[in-house]
Amino acid sequence: MAAKKTIVVVGATGNQGSSVAHTFLTRPNWNVRCVTRNPSSAAAQDLASLGASVVQADLSDIDSLRTAFDGAHAIFVNTDFWGPYRADGKRTLGDSDAAFNMEVDHGKNAAIVAAALPSLERFIYSALGPMKKHSKGKYPHSYHWDSKATIVEYIESEQSNLAKKTSYIYIGAFNTNPLFMPNINPETGRHQFTNPLKKEQIMPMIDPVESTGPFVQALIETEEPGVRLLAYDSLLTMGEISNLWSKVSGKPADYVEVTVEYMNQQFGIPLEVLDAVGYLPEYGYMGGVEGSIEPDQLKVKPQTASFEDWLKKQDWESILKSGEKLIGSVKE
């Protein structure tokens, strides 16, 4: 019997990392090492109870990463922008700058340590496109996209040996994104999707908790390095998203197109989030990412649940409340 390989999952208690950890815990030929800043957390302990080894490390501490990455054959990294961005409860341009710089430093640290591993066969980074660069500065506020694009550029230009072992997963729009949820119109009492995207706008939708792992497994086990995968469960127009919500919930919903300015002023959603609304129709979700592929182009396409099937499993009262809470956490 061949010796087991080891996959290290950075951010293992988050949506994407947890999905990767759970997927590889079902694979008999893999050991799973989960990296977290807090090994005593409930999420970390749950992973340990399933058979994962859980180690403490911090992306700001290179020495801790050397220990955590030692002997790894595969590494999955998802760096975090939103944690630092929300840290002090204030929303200023400085916060975006600070969160950007911290995330980029974290990504570079992971790449530096991974590049020195003789055992490493595959490095997977969860990326997003270069919004500011590709739009020539037209959409400059989406730091959480550009930070990840900057890390990709660093790996490709400064860590050439690691780049030869690297694939990138570009996660589609989360099914739970508040922009894809209705609210109640107080005047009509009806559910209403209030959105600056046109009904015809196509969105790649994904449940990151269930689907990230299977896509990462495909990138590691059946694909050669160098893949840039747009990962999604369903490709839908905004109108189809609204119609499916009504179909599954049994509640009629209206779709009302508004301006970015309205969303910013009425709901307090910052341009950090809303720049994407202008960028996507103009440049596409993968604008600025050359040579990307979609799930149907994988050698072995994972079987993941469609957006409609995901909807059928949801407790909509809690989903809508969590959406309101998420909007509140990024308000200006």
Rounded Cα gap, residues 250 and 248, in angstroms: 6
- Higher pLDDT residue, 327 or 170? 170
Tell me the per-residue pLDDT of 108-142, one tens digit each, with 9 for 90 and over: 999 999 999 999 999 999 999 999 999 999 999 99
Tell me the per-residue pLDDT of 262-302, one tens digit each, with 9 for 90 and over: 999 988 889 999 999 999 999 999 999 999 999 999 999 99
Rounded Cα gap, residues 148 and 68, in angstroms: 22
> Looking at residue 186, what is its pLDDT?
84
CATH superfamily of 5-330: NAD(P)-binding Rossmann-like Domain (3.40.50.720)
Backbone angles phi, psi at 141, to 5 degrees: -100, -5
Please determine, for residue 90, whether its predicted confidence score (pLDDT) is greater than 90.
no
Once rounded to an integer, what is the mean pLDDT over residues 15-38?
98
> Looking at residue 326, what is its pLDDT?
47
Tokens of 140: 């400059």
Continuous H helices in the chain: 15-25, 42-49, 62-69, 82-86, 93-115, 131-134, 143-158, 160-163, 208-221, 238-249, 260-267, 271-283, 307-312, 316-330
Find the range with the poorest average confidence among 21-35, 57-71, 279-293, 304-318. 304-318
Tell me the per-residue pLDDT of 215-268, one tens digit each, with 9 for 90 and over: 999 999 999 999 999 999 999 999 999 999 999 988 899 999 999 999 999 888
Q: Name, in order, each residue with C-beta under 8 angstroms of 22's C-beta and a sequence gap of 6 or more.
A: 47, 50, 213
The full set of domain ranges for the chain reads 5-330
